[in-house]
């Protein structure tokens, strides 16, 4: 009978530190959706397969090991190889982002500026006398500017909203999916909504988070 002594440690280690790998195994080898697979837990390892359960719906999946291992001492090497294969097939990075970072420093000003622009240009009538934007901002003192804003409102809103929708769509493909952020998770929603509001600064902030996570990994290794 094969020596199973390394298995308990491997199971504990995988569940504590490599949940992203377990999720990737389910997505690639068992066709489980990313959303369902994000709650994966490794239950057992044999020479021929892994047993993984999703807490999302309490379903157990068997992931075959092909070819079977000769001994459990091969488990680390095999799991690492499977992880790399899954990342390649999913088009994923080896870094997984699990958090959202809110605007910082100058980004706070740009965020507030974009929110103000959306509020002001959402309705053309905001630039007419008597409208709360017109009166609050004091556009009566600059009627020429108010008329320009009134005429440009449809174009400004289309450019602002349209460009941010395009950027948010690209963010989901170029960043969120690549770095393992599950679609419609709260982290995914937070990044997408921020991008819809503030635009390109979200990409810069997301890339900083990725850089920090990679530095942490290199330090651990």
Q: What is the CA radius of gyration of the chain?
A: 25
For the residues 11-28, what does the mean pLDDT come to? 91
Give the model's pLDDT for residue 168: 97
Could you tell me the pLDDT band of residue 2, with boundaries at 50, 70 and 90? low
Give the model's pLDDT for residue 77: 92
Could you tell me the pLDDT band of residue 182, with boundaries at 50, 70 and 90? confident
DSSP string, the chain: ----HHHHHHHHHHHHH-HHHHHHHHHHHS---HHHHTTEEEEEE-SSEEEEEETTTTEEEEEE-SSPPSSGGGHHHHHHHHHHHHHHHHT--S----------THHHHHHHHHHHHHHHHT-GGGGSTTSHHHHHHTGGG-HHHHHHHHHHHHHHHHHHHHHHHHHHHHHIIIIITTTT--TTSHHHHHHHHHHHHHTTHHHHHHHHHHHHHHHHHHHH-
d(CA 139, CA 125): 13
Could you tell me the pLDDT band of residue 203, with boundaries at 50, 70 and 90? very high
Give the model's pLDDT for residue 4: 64
- In the chain, the domains with their CATH numbers are 5-90 (3.20.180.10), 106-220 (no CATH)
Dump pLDDT digits (tens) for 95-142: 889 899 999 999 999 999 999 999 999 999 999 999 999 999 999 999
For the residues 48-63, what does the mean pLDDT come to? 91
Of the chain, the percentage scoring pLDDT greater than 90 comes to: 73
Report how far Cα 150 is from the mean position of its chain's Cα atoms: 37
Residue among 44, 18, 51 at smallest CA distance from 217? 18
Q: Is the peptide bond before 35 cis (omega within 30 degrees of 0)?
A: no
Q: pTM for this structure?
A: 0.75
């Amino acid at each position: 009978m094969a020596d199973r002594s390394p298995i308990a440690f491997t199971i504990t280690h995988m569940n504590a530190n490599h949940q992203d790998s377990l999720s990737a195994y389910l997505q690639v080898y068992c066709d489980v959706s990313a959303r369902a697979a994000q709650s994966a837990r490794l239950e057992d390892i044999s020479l021929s397969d892994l047993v993984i359960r999703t807490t999302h719906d309490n379903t157990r999946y068997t992931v075959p090991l092909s070819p079977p291992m000769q001994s459990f001492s091969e488990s680390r090497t095999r799991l690492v190889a499977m992880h790399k294969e899954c990342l390649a097939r999913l088009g994923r990075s080896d870094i997984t982002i699990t958090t959202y970072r809110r605007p910082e420093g100058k980004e706070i000003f740009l965020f507030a500026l974009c929110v103000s622009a959306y509020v002001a240009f959402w309705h053309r009538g905001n630039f007419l006398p008597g409208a709360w934007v017109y009166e609050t901002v004091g556009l009566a003192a600059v009627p020429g500017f108010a008329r320009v804003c009134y005429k440009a409102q449809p174009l400004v809103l289309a450019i602002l909203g349209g460009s941010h929708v395009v950027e948010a769509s690209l963010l989901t493909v170029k960043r969120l999916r690549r770095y393992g952020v599950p679609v419609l998770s709260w982290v995914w929603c937070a990044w997408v909504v921020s991008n819809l509001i503030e635009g390109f600064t979200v990409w810069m902030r997301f890339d900083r988070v990725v850089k920090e996570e990679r530095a942490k990994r290199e330090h651990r290794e």
